[in-house]
Amino acid sequence: MARAFNPHYRLPQKLRWLLGAASFLLPVLLWCAVSYLPFVWHPQIKITDPGGVSYFEADMRTDRATFELEKSNMTAQHLAMPQGIAANPVYLPAPHEVVRAFYTAFTTPPAQADDPWLHQSLWHSVKLVFYAFFISSIIGVPLGILSGTSPVISRLTEPFVEFFRYLPAPAFGALMVAILGIYDGPKIAIIVIGTLFQQILIIANTTRKLDVGLMEAALTLGASRRRLLTRVVVPGILPDLYRDQRILLGWAWTYLIVAELIGTSSGITWFITQQARYQHFDNVYAAIIMIGLIGLGIDLLLAWLGHRLFPWDKSR
């Protein structure tokens, strides 16, 4: 039992798979219990027959207390009793409704002929994330490595970066629209602002963890600063740098939702807000889960690629 709390204990492969599956299965079982077991949590009544209640309509949802009050009123007035079944609020659809939405969201045409289909919105969002993360990495990776190796560059950049990373990226939305227009420019800029400064600090910290002995040995052998950087530092931190980038890519997806709220109406966030506006919450859940699946799929692909690129890395 004590081994279960040892962070360096490596679980058997079969147990790792079982626990990984359970991490998905348990939330789904909880969702099923809340959705299909009325005694767990069904705070509303879905009207099947309005009876004598004038403002009740079929398929309307109302609170239990209101329903019971109207039943009492109808009994006192000798009118037809309303009928209904226990239900959850409309914002919590059952799992089977969300699964159905996965299919119908891709096959149902958009409400307006010129609106994008779901797959087009998804692809647009994927491109935004990768364009923004590419720009962020072009700046953040070299600057982070240089900050991690040079005290001068570190002192010159990190105090400002430490300050700037606390500024919320969405606060720059109106400014970015004014500068870059209403199309994809401000969205990419928001994601870059949200990830770049974290990226610099994380990579600088990763660089500082490189074994000092390697650098001292290279300097003793006469390596120039350029060769020290390109032949010792960068190869030495590559596995950790790759892992950092995988984590930071997840942050880019987080900022995507905020970024797509500004400018033109496009992307998966626009689809979600449109569906929520018409209370199609099954489509909202389906779209959110799609984002999670795409992000997880990309991360698993990168993890698989990392195993092949860095077979000597035993820290994973």
Contact assessment for residue 182 and residue 263, using Cβ atoms and an 8 Å cutoff? yes
Q: Which helix (H) or strand (E) holds 83?
A: strand 83-87
Segment 56-83, tens digit of pLDDT: 999 899 999 999 999 999 999 989 999 9
Look at residue 163 in the predicted model and tell me its pLDDT: 94
Which pLDDT band, with edges at 50, 70 and 90, does 206 fall under? Answer: very high
Six-digit token string for 8: 């360096």
Find the mean pLDDT for residues 180-206. 92
Tell me which of 150 and 114 has the higher pLDDT: 150
Decide if pLDDT at 3 tops 80.
no
The predicted-structure confidence for 89-124, as pLDDT tens digits, reads as follows: 999 999 999 999 888 878 877 767 777 778 888 888
- Give the pLDDT confidence score for residue 46 in this predicted structure: 92
Predicted pLDDT of residue 263: 62
Average pLDDT score over residue span 248-253 = 90
pLDDT score at 94: 93
Question: Is residue 193 within 8 Å of residue 172, measured between CB atoms?
Answer: yes
- Residue 158 pLDDT grade (very low, low, confident, very high; cuts 50, 70, 90): very high
- The pLDDT tens digits of the residues spanning 35-56 come to 999 888 899 999 999 988 999 9
Using 50, 70 and 90 to split pLDDT, how confident is the model at 273?
confident
What's the rounded Cα separation, in Å, for the pair 154 and 42? 56
> Quick check: helix, strand or coil at residue 140?
helix
Instruction: Reply yes or no on whether the pLDDT at 295 is more than 60.
Output: yes
Q: What is the pTM of this model?
A: 0.81
Average pLDDT, the chain: 88
**pLDDT digit string (tens) for 8-42?**
778 888 888 999 899 999 999 999 999 999 888 89
Report which DSSP code applies to 84.
E
Please tell me the predicted confidence (pLDDT) of residue 7: 74
Q: For 126-152, what is the mean pLDDT?
A: 93
- Checking if the pLDDT of 316 tops 60, the result is no
Provide, rounded to the nearest whole percent, the portion of the chain with pLDDT above 90.
49
Distance CA 224, CA 175 (A): 44
Q: Quick one: pLDDT at residue 97? A: 92
Average pLDDT over residues 237-256: 91
10 Å CB burial of residue 194 (0-12, 13-18, 19+) is buried
Q: Which CATH superfamily is domain 107-309 in?
A: MetI-like (1.10.3720.10)
Residue bearing tokens 């009207």: 47
Indicate the domain borders of the chain. Answer: 25-95, 107-309
Q: Which residues contact 311 (CB under 8 A, 6 or more apart)?
A: none
